[in-house]
Amino acid sequence: MAEDYYQRLGVEKSASKDEIKGAYRKKAKIYHPDKNPEDPETARKKFKEISEAYEVLMDDDKKRQYDMYGEEGIKDQYFGGGGFTWNDFSHRDDVEDLFSDFIGGGGMGGLFSDLFGRRTARGSSRRRLRKGDDLRVTLEVELEDIKKGTEKTIRLHRKVKCKECGGSGSKDGERVTCPQCQGAGEIRSVTRQGFQQLIRVSACPKCRGTGEFVKNPCPKCDGRGVQEKSETLTIKVPPGADNGTILRAPTKGDAAEGGGREGDLYIYIRVKPHKTFKRSGNHILFEQKVSMVQAVLGDTIRISTLEGKVDMKIKPGTQPGQEYRLRGRGLPDGRGGTGDHIVRIDVEIPKDTNSKQKELIKEFEEIEKEKKKGWYDKIRGK
């Protein structure tokens, strides 16, 4: 059986983020390719596996979805239906911080360069490509839609890379080192307070944190590298989705100015209240009215489900509030199981009765009294 994310890092499900980070640090040092010169490819594979686990378990939304739907649910919602790639790894800066004690000595620099496509040695000059902003939309679906899953279309207005300059913002592709931050992408200011000094670090306003400056701006996007666009997207809603289920569409967020990876689009599912059914987890609750005669004598009644009308037998002597359970007619739970359709019986008492009905009811009452009397006499030995 394949290891789950918790087993990959060697932590319990109740582990805190500090414990997860510490476990990842230990594992990453073990699987650093430089420490495994005889089999660097296997080491890289293991490093990627633990990084995937770290990416999911350190993110509250991803962790919640993983605990509910497992690895397949995570792939569908966050990794575009495929496997984890380094473009999905949003904790790159965290990793650099974790290994800052031996970055620059050749430890992780080469690995990060291969994985993330950027240099990480201290003091090196590099262009800081920012990730674009993530976008969030709410998608309303009907209860019937999530019985088997469905596809919905949404209209989205977002920033995309300028086609004219390919997102660079430059007319001729030339970029120069930012004169204000000298390529660092950030501005540091020092404020002294007595014997203490406060260092503030902020993104450079001239290059917007990229470390580079466009000399000849693209006329189509005014040097921003992005343009506004409206488009229609098709969203796959998984079976059994609930309120708060979050779907992720990679790279469908805003493009970053000056280049860099697009942000992601997060779709928050809202299930509309149903006029007939109520939901309890993956079970469907339904209240069915029956007559007093049906409750007493039993009957086969026709009831509504998410899949249409079905016949259901009620037993003689059915009591008000008694529940009948139709197995497997509820909603999928994302792990191969399905909830039930639970029918709660509501017995209708007639409001208007004629003389004949009243006479029969009184006769029924007398018979019940005789039954009880006979029961008492039997107990007392008469």
Tens of pLDDT along the chain (382 residues) come to 568 899 989 999 889 988 998 898 888 878 876 667 677 788 888 888 888 889 889 888 888 878 877 777 677 666 655 677 766 777 666 665 555 544 443 444 445 545 554 443 333 344 556 788 899 999 999 999 988 889 999 999 999 999 888 888 888 877 788 888 887 777 877 777 666 667 777 878 877 777 777 778 889 988 888 999 999 999 999 998 888 888 988 889 999 877 777 889 999 999 999 999 999 989 999 999 999 999 999 999 999 999 899 999 999 999 999 999 999 999 998 778 899 999 999 999 888 888 898 888 888 888 877 877 766 666 666 5
pLDDT of residue 121: 36
pLDDT of residue 104: 41
Distance CA 71, CA 337 (A): 16
pLDDT of residue 77: 65
CA 206 remoteness from chain centre = 36
pLDDT of residue 124: 39
CB 293 within 8 A of CB 348: no
CA 337 remoteness from chain centre = 19
Write out the two tokens for 327.
């197995």
Distance CA 31, CA 45 (A): 9
Distance CA 369, CA 376 (A): 11
CB 284 within 8 A of CB 278: yes
CB 187 within 8 A of CB 201: yes
CB 8 within 8 A of CB 24: no
Nearest 5°: phi and psi at 8? Answer: -60, -40
Where residue 167 falls (left for φ over 0; alpha for ψ -120 to 50; beta otherwise) is left
Residue 258 has a CB neighbour count (10 Å cut-off) of: 26
pLDDT of residue 319: 94
Closest CA to 339 of 315, 308, 305: 305
H or E segment at 376? helix 355-380
Distance CA 9, CA 327 (A): 38
Q: What CA–CA distances, in Å, run from 183 to 177, 178, 180, 206?
A: 5, 5, 8, 11
CB 57 within 8 A of CB 6: yes
Q: List the alpha helices (DSSP H) in 31-172.
A: 40-57, 60-78, 92-98, 109-116, 145-148
Distance CA 38, CA 13 (A): 34
pLDDT of residue 72: 72
Write out the two tokens for 242.
């609930």
Distance CA 361, CA 363 (A): 5
Distance CA 145, CA 143 (A): 5
Checking 7-13 for CB contacts under 8 A at 24+ apart, the result is 8/49, 8/50, 8/52, 8/53, 9/50, 9/53, 9/54, 9/57, 11/57, 13/67
pLDDT of residue 90: 72
Distance CA 167, CA 163 (A): 7
Name 189's bridge partners. Answer: 200
Model pTM?
A: 0.58
